[in-house]
Amino acid sequence: MRLGRLLVVVVWGVALVQAGCVGCGDLPVTYSLPGTSVGTCSDGLSNGDETDVDCGGSCRPCGTDSHEDTCQSDAQCPGGVCRDGTCQSAPACVSDADCDASTPACIEGVCSRCTESAQCAGGFECREGGCREDRFAPRVQMAFLPGSAVLRVRFSEPMQQDDSATGVLNPDNYCVELTDETPDECSPSDAFWLGSVLTAVDPNTVDIQLPFAPGGGRYTVHVSQVVDRVNNALGSPRHADFEVGGPLRLLGATTQGQNRVLLTFSQPLLPGPDIEGSAGCASRATCASRYQLSGVSALGDVLSAEVLPAPRDNEVLLRHEAFQRGGQYTVVASIGVDGRLGASPLDRATFTGFGSLVSRFQDGPVQVDPFADGVASTSVVSYRGRLYLGTNAYGTRAVGMDLDGIRPDDLDFRFRKDTQKLAGSSSSNSAGSLFPSIGFAGCQGNTFQCGPDNEDGRALFASGSLDGTEWLMVGGTRSGGGLDYVYLSRDDDATLDMKYVDLSQALDGTSVRSFSAMGFLEGRAYLGMPSRDGSRRPELLALLRAPAVDARGLEARGNGIKGGACKPSAHDVCNLSAHRMPGIGAAGSPANLARTVGIDFVGEFNGRLYLGNNGGLVRATVTQPLDYESAPEHWVSITPSAPEYLAKESVTTDKTVDLEPFDRAWSRMVVFKGHVYLGRNTTEGPQLWRCEPARVSGPAPATAEACDAGDWVLVAANGQGDTQLSQFDNPNNTRLTLLTVNRGHLYVGFDNAVEGVVVYRSAVAPAHRSDFTGQDGCSAAMAGCAGLGGNGFGQPSLHTRFGDAASVDSGDHGVLYVPVSGGPGTPVRLYRQRD
């Protein structure tokens, strides 16, 4: 079957940065490449011919002092290739057989680095543009029906292609069932029989011939026992959802070299090129009407699009004008006049470019406008060994990627609606029972635009362990109040099936609009929610149990909001009466007098829960605390007693939705080298606090293993100006919004509307500004020491605010991911730092 016409899509804005350089003023440079001379640096461009118009291969970071002819990617070597950091001539070729092991791919007559693992020798795979030792577990990447009676399964890398017990051509290794909420199990569906004829489409892909065309519906294919070509066992996910009779959609994209990308659609396409309804194109004008590329650098015009021959006629090879960098790009295909290609997010896919992997802030962003929709803020969370970024502007999409930032997958959602009323409420959206979105501001109620309970705002992600299982948690927003649900998934394929949790028995639902903090500790999930109505009571819930494996959701039994005691043996969720906690709640002593009272963070130190807001800090005295009403001894105030704390007033906010680190009195809590660190934002500027647990060890409940009121000291105080603030002597550092640990470093970052965001780090447990370093290792105590990657990461107007960051451990190094934007109206950019 040949499908519809592909016409123009949306054209999303892309910030153009010449050859990846960033601005840092006019500085002399002594850097040269073959055919260039010593030049000058203007607006971040190091150019041997002393002009700023076109740096070409001589573009280097400003201030570099080296005479070596070095490079980081082939894009910096016009007419050549980058080998071992040096530009060299690229040998001509006719086929891959003409090339050697270092540049095994023959691309447009030139030997280049690999584009797929099939070009690498046994025991190696194509990663980061080169042949690397294959130590990575393969995974199921996608499944779809390219024909009425053919099921196609694609893996992330070349597999063992035989019919042995571990081969992908053995039908016993596959099971198909109707999609449910138990992705780790399979009950074969009578409506979907697998045939015994399996065919290899390419090294990564298998076609399974079906005895008949299956009926409509959504199914999941499960794969077991298979291994890749060097016997690495199948990793996660081991399954993939697919739909029978669904719309044409763009399933994925993969780089095929410096200026080529391969698109995979869910159904065969009309080849063309340049004819009515074709997916192919040969002219710039026609290509521009059918495809759009955006990402970390401009890729120029799409020059051609070729539909591959059957059986791969659901794939399109795009060739574009400019070379790719090592960050991530988004390709958007046309919706078309006949509407056969599904609307966003079904019309777009993400891929990692062919250049060198982005590893430092100064290398530029990993992603720019990651969903090609202008979203200005997003969550970053680690889940099941991968990194998740989301949601997009419409609450319908996330991006998952390896912890190193490669092999991105485009993820969508299926939120389950609560149709029961066993726990006091049921979902209010009347549109259906399964929803593709958690909602967005301005969505039309009682439609699939909004969430299952008519959620209509930005969502918050978290991940952690409940009942011994790792879960992904998504909390939405109800701008008019009445928030009753959080959603959980233990799924990890391209469609995340989310189970509902009805929280209404533990919530004052009329005033609660969103989540301000989420965290997991000791087998529980803690949920913080702000309130500004009536009693201004912050809600702090402890979710004690997860939905059952075979259940659609959880009708959570709770202790109510009227002072009932939390009983873990009888309750699934408990309201911990945060409104009574000293300084935290409006009913505490002293009372929190702010108009909006919420929970800024939930953290953990030595097995104890810590939390805080504009009224102060509180910690639990036991590992699994009960509510403050019935067990006040389970909680103790640890608000700093130091004069520097008492001299300043914490910031407050009137917002109850779309909360950012900028809005919080306490941006984040981290533990580093045995100390607790907290970033505080006051009405006069930021402070960095450190807890030294042994400073106060009595009387009880004070201990030498926990933080108490007298344990806090101000860290990195200004040397000039207000010495009770931690601004690193820069009054434009108005908020401390980034605080995280990445391997052996503590990172601290500031919002700055003038110079752009500023980041410093320390390899020791810091006490003074001199313990931190900035760009090129300068001491943060020195005047003029810029932050890591340069202030504003080289673009101050675009990078003024930090979002929530995530640090992950990837083998022998840690990777820090930091979302940055210029505030509302500026698309988010994702940066990374590898330590």
Looking at residue 532, its pLDDT comes to 75
241-250 pLDDT tens trace: 999 988 889 9
What is the spatial distance between Cα 67 and Cα 63, in angstroms, rounded to a whole number? Answer: 13
Residue 750 · residue 739 · CB < 8 Å: no
CA distance 287 to 297: 19
Looking at residue 69, its pLDDT comes to: 42
In the chain the first and final C-alpha atoms are separated, in Å, by 50
Check residue 82 and give its pLDDT: 62
CA angle 672–664–591, rounded 5-degree value: 105
The pLDDT value given to residue 563: 63
Q: Residue 662 and residue 653: Cα distance in Å, rounded?
A: 10
Q: Environment class of residue 794 by beta-carbon count within 10 Å: exposed (0-12), middle (13-18) or buried (19+)?
A: buried
Question: Which tokens hold the place of 479?
Answer: 């701008």
Q: What is the pLDDT of residues 69-81, one digit of tens each?
A: 456 555 556 556 6
C-alpha to C-alpha distance for 464 and 521, rounded to whole angstroms: 8
Pairing of strands 553-555, 495-502: parallel
The confidence band for 49, taking pLDDT boundaries of 50, 70 and 90, is very low
Per-residue confidence (pLDDT) for residue 562, from 0 to 100: 65
- Tell me what pLDDT residue 340 has: 67
Residue 576: the pLDDT is 96
Structure-token pair, residue 281: 């194109």
Is the pLDDT at 708 greater than 90? The verdict is yes
pLDDT at 534: 67
Q: pLDDT band at 90, cuts 50/70/90?
A: low
Could you give the residue range(s) of every CATH 2.60.40.1220 domain in the chain?
A: 140-235, 250-361+378-390
Average pLDDT over residues 670-686: 97
Residue 51 has a pLDDT of 35
Q: Cis omega before residue 214 (within 30°)? A: no
Measured in residues, the chain has a length of 835
Q: Give the CATH class of 250-361+378-390.
A: mainly beta
Asked whether the beta carbons of 397 and 371 are under 8 A apart, the reply is: yes
Tokens of 742: 């990445």
Q: How far apart (Å, rounded) are the C-alpha atoms in residues 59 and 834?
A: 23
* Amino acid 80: pLDDT: 61
The model's pTM is 0.85
Per-residue model confidence as pLDDT tens digits over 213-245: 888 888 999 999 999 999 999 999 999 999 998
Highest mean predicted confidence (pLDDT) among 504-518, 525-539, 712-726: 712-726
> Which of the residue ranges 59-68, 198-207, 318-327, 511-520 would you say has the lowest mean pLDDT?
59-68
Residue 689 has pLDDT above 90, yes or no: yes
Fold of 140-235: Immunoglobulin-like (2.60.40)
Question: How is residue 473 written in tokens?
Answer: 């948690």
pLDDT given for residue 698 in this prediction: 81
299-326 tens-digit pLDDT: 999 999 999 999 999 999 999 999 998 8
Q: Where are the beta strands (DSSP E) in 638-768?
A: 666-672, 675-682, 685-691, 712-715, 735-742, 745-751, 758-762
Instruction: Give residue for tokens 């979907």.
Output: 192
The first and second tokens of residue 811, run together, are: 């083998």
Identify which has the larger pLDDT, 273 or 90. Answer: 273
Contact 313, 307 (CB under 8 A): yes
φ, ψ of residue 371 to 5 degrees: the values are -110, 5
